[in-house]
Chains A and B, each alone.
Chain A
Amino acid sequence: MNPFATLARLVDEAPRRALLLLAAFVAVLLVAPVVLDRYLLSVFFLIFWFATVGQAWNIMMGFCGQLSLGHALYVGLGGYVGALFWVKFGISPAIAIVPAMLVAVAFGAVIGWLGFRFGIEGVYFALLTIAFAEVARIGFDNWSFVGGAAGFFIPVSSAASPVNLRGGPMLFYYVALAMMIIAFILCAALRRSRLGHAWLAVREDAEAARALGIDVFRAKMAAVVISAAMTAVAGVVYAFYQNNLFPSQTFDIARSIEMILAPIIGGLGTLFGPILGAFILTPLGQTLIALVEKIAGRAIPGVNLVFYGAALMVIIWFTPNGVWPWLKKKLGIPEGRE
């Protein structure tokens, strides 16, 4: 499939008004750093980052119906591979994203094979993904080559070098923005592809999909592998943004859950859901942290997560399909159109 032809077709199919709105939105984001300070740049980085990983996770759960609760595994693997290549061998992260993706794909393939071959489904499959993230956490905790529990650090250099992901918040703002846009286009193209239709069929009714001649196992494997690779790229960027990796944080189940909030709140299985969810949740969470710090005079850890938890419960109670389908109706976009 020719990516440019697909892109042209996507543009062609979209309603004009929506396209104009989208272009204006991207244009605003492109010039926004002129007025944003360091703090706001970092907030936007987080929004773009969560939108990207949310998009990746959405391929598995939203498109293919496979619940993963261990996506922190792929973030961590990507981050460690990228950081190791740079620190130990001086290889640029621009190149290291390839091995990072490969390692994540290998792990994703093992989890997928174990799960789908043996018919482990639903919550059982979710538990399997958590188990692998936990095993990775313990493994990295005890692996001295990567610093063990004491963490692995990427030295901060004063010389900016965008190809090597060395630079200030402005650089990471644009890198994450690019990531979010590419992830969106990729997902839009995948959803319209033959594979995308196979995923939706598997999600709705795996037996019926099999009867139609869809290779259910392969469709599920493709979802895991593509999702893992995308998440690993985001993992590399995050590691270079943070400049440090601690197994207890990187592979934490709390991280896995934080990653799935945006697509759930925005709208499972939709293209705009993960982006919308990230734009709603991250700023609210960050504002809450700042607000509580101002009122209490000190940071109280966990405040933003209590809010996220409440948001999850409210959303799933009232609009289990997320905010985007509701907003779509308000904007007058017809059913069946994104």
Chain B
Amino acid sequence: MDPPNGMLWSLYANVLVQGVLTGLVYGLMALGLSVIFGVVRVVNFAHGEFAVVGMYAAFVLFRSFGIDPFVSMLPIAAVFFVIGYGLQRTLINPFVSRPEHEQFILLVGLAIIMVNGTLMIFGPDARSANLSYSFDSWEIGAIIVDKVRVYAATAALAVAALLFAFFRFTATGVAIRACADNLVGAAVVGLDVKKLYALTFGLGLACVGAAGALMVTLTDATPMIAPAFTLLAFTIVIIGGMGSMTGAIVGGLLIGIAEAMASVLIAPSMKTMASFGLLVLVLALRPQGLLGRRA
């Protein structure tokens, strides 16, 4: 192999690794949206806004108290769980049986308040966490890996694994899956559907809160990125298959790789184009998503 070609391949490999690592964090964010949709059947249009609030929470905890985002993601996820539980109990539950566009308008209202509230408090400037180890990296042969990206991806994978285990091995998790599969049946055997819905919404927000804390280690926080995150999570979930947990992670990986490849091979601004191209393709060829079931 001649040198220029070799360099090209190492570039591809670097981009691929970076895409996979970022994609896992994207996947965790989308996992929250997918779990909520799969069980409660409500599309959380304020999802990206929650991610941004998570980012700012991690940012403030780091700047004011020196708590590393990889530590603060746990309390942030816990608080987000409580918020999600409360939201579902009060605001969203009455809308579960209402038409789709009414659910959507309720959540868009919430999203507008959240993004502009953040804007009023923190201003429009991008905030960077500036971790002491942001620029550390490992060299494995020709591949250079950012340490912070590896930490973030590992943490995202760990949280996702916990959630999978919860749904697989705990009685509550199985009960929630029963609600998703057959709502009437679940109610007939005496499951407290309202409580399970609230738990699910809480878990979904815990995912996005943790993902937000991880995201702040990778990119700057700004209120205006929120709608883009909502779109990103939505795109990933549609590509992976609405309501499929594995689909969310797979979709996150695909989008992470596609974005990284497009920004290096075409132009950084083409990042979003790549994911939308993928979205249109999936919508046209396999509308139920890669791992989704036909409704």
Contact = CB atoms under 8 A, between A and B. Distances in A.
Interface string A117-155: 011101110111011001100100110000000000000
A314 to B, nearest CB: 8
A302 B106 CA distance: 18
Contacts of B287: 118-120, 124
A61 B108 CA distance: 16
Contacts of A122: 100-101
Contacts of A131: 231, 235, 276, 279-280
B110 interface: yes
Contacts of B269: 138, 141-142
A123 B102 CA distance: 11
Interface stretch (B113-121, B145-153, B195-203): B113-121
Contacts of B276: 131, 134-135
Contacts of B111: 309
Given A131-B279, A138-B269, A316 B106 contact: yes
B280 A305 contact: no
A134 B273 CA distance: 8
Given A123-B104, A134-B272, A316-B105, A306 B113 contact: yes
A300 B94 CA distance: 34
A306 B109 CA distance: 8
Which secondary structure dominates chain A's binding surface?
A: helix
B43 interface: yes
B227 A317 contact: no
Contacts of B234: 127
A123 B283 contact: no
B228 to A, nearest CB: 8
A141 B270 CA distance: 11
B119 A138 contact: no
B75 interface: no
B231 A127 contact: yes
A130 B238 CA distance: 14
A208 interface: no
B189 interface: no
A310 B100 contact: no
Interface residues of B, number: 38
A67 B279 contact: no
Given A124-B238, A131-B280, A138 B104 contact: no
B284 interface: yes
Given A123-B104, A305-B116, A114 B283 contact: yes
Contact of A138 (B98, B273, B280): B273
A120 B285 CA distance: 11
B193 to A, nearest CB: 22
Given A118-B287, A301-B119, A306 B227 contact: no
A334 to B, nearest CB: 26
Contacts of B267: 142
A133 to B, nearest CB: 10
B66 interface: no
B162 interface: no
Interface string A272-309: 00000000000000000000000000001111011011
B112 interface: yes
B280 A114 contact: yes
Contact of A120 (B108, B124, B227, B283): B283
Interface string B254-295: 000000000000010110110010011001100100000000
Contacts of A141: 269
Nearest to B116: A302
A127 B111 CA distance: 16
Nearest to B114: A309
A316 B116 contact: no
Contacts of A303: 116, 120
A18 interface: no
A313 B231 contact: no
B93 to A, nearest CB: 12
A268 B33 CA distance: 28
Interface string A66-81: 0100000000000000
Between A128, A131, A317, A320, the greatest number of chain B beta carbons within 10 A of the residue's beta carbon is seen for: A131
Nearest to A320: B102
A119 B113 CA distance: 32
Given A124-B283, A131-B280, A254-B227, A302 B120 contact: yes
Contacts of A134: 231, 272, 276
A120 B280 CA distance: 11
Nearest to B113: A309
A61 B283 CA distance: 21
Given A123-B43, A124-B283, A305-B116, A312 B100 contact: no
Contact of B116 (A264, A309, A311): A309
A305 B112 contact: yes
Contacts of B108: 257, 309, 312
Contacts of A302: 115-117, 119-120, 223
B70 to A, nearest CB: 31
A101 interface: no
Pairs A-B, 7 closest by C-beta atoms: A309-B112, A302-B116, A312-B109, A313-B109, A309-B113, A302-B119, A305-B116
Given A131-B279, A257-B112, 5 more contacts: A138-B273, A142-B267, A257-B108, A305-B112, A313-B110
